[in-house]
Structure 1
Amino acid sequence: MAKTTEWPVRLILVEEDGTTRARVELDTGNQELTGHGRARCSPGDQDVPVIGDELAAGRAMKDLAGQLIRLADHDLAGVGAAPPGHERRTVYGWTNEPA
């Protein structure tokens, strides 16, 4: 039998001085999680606020997605099912890792 569950999500965007901050809030009924993201317009770039919104919101949702997966891994371990191994994740942008 099919089951439908709805989780309310709220996304808040604040733009100030060329920086957009995003907060995404999720209520699963059992857990409340909050993801955060930020985007900054480079001084030499044209200021297009919708791009900052998209980047900050996407980063906040990515943060939230990571929290959900870690929560699921923890819950799996709690019922005796080992979470999957940690595969190497693709890193975008500059890192501190040696080449």
Structure 2
Amino acid sequence: MATTREWNVRIFIFEEEGTTTARAVLDTGESTITGRGVARCNPEDVDIPEIGDELAASRAMAELGRQLMRVADRDLQGVGAGPLPPRTQASFGWPDPNL
């Protein structure tokens, strides 16, 4: 049977004196996870607040993704699924950039 769930992410952005801080909050309906990100304007650069917002928000969302993956890993281990085997490199030839 097909099901549909909706998870909501809200992003809060705070700016103060050349520093932008973002907080991304995932609400699954059962739990919440929060990621944070910061962007600072280089004093030599032109201050364009939208760029700071984008950087801080993307960093907050990336942190949120890492935390969600850790939760999933713990849940997998809780049901007996072990960790993935370590990646290995080829013993000859060019190294695989995906490893």
Q: Normalised by the size of structure 2, how large is the TM-score?
A: 0.82
Match of 1:6 in 2: 6
Given the superposition, is the C-alpha separation of residues 85 and 25 from structure 1 closer, same or farther in structure 2, using an over 3 Å criterion?
farther
Displacement of 1:83 in angstroms is 3.1
* Structure 1 alignment gaps of length 5 or more: 88-99
Q: Normalised by the size of structure 1, how large is the TM-score?
A: 0.82
Match of 1:92 in 2: none
Match of 2:63 in 1: 63
Q: Structure 1 segments of 4 or more deviating over 4 A?
A: none
* Structure 2 alignment gaps of length 5 or more: 88-99
Whichever residue aligns with residue 40 of structure 1, its letter is R
Given the superposition, is the C-alpha separation of residues 85 and 15 from structure 1 closer, same or farther in structure 2, using an over 3 Å criterion?
farther
Given the superposition, is the C-alpha separation of residues 21 and 79 from structure 1 closer, same or farther in structure 2, using an over 3 Å criterion?
same
Given the superposition, is the C-alpha separation of residues 2 and 65 from structure 1 closer, same or farther in structure 2, using an over 3 Å criterion?
same
Aligned residues: 87
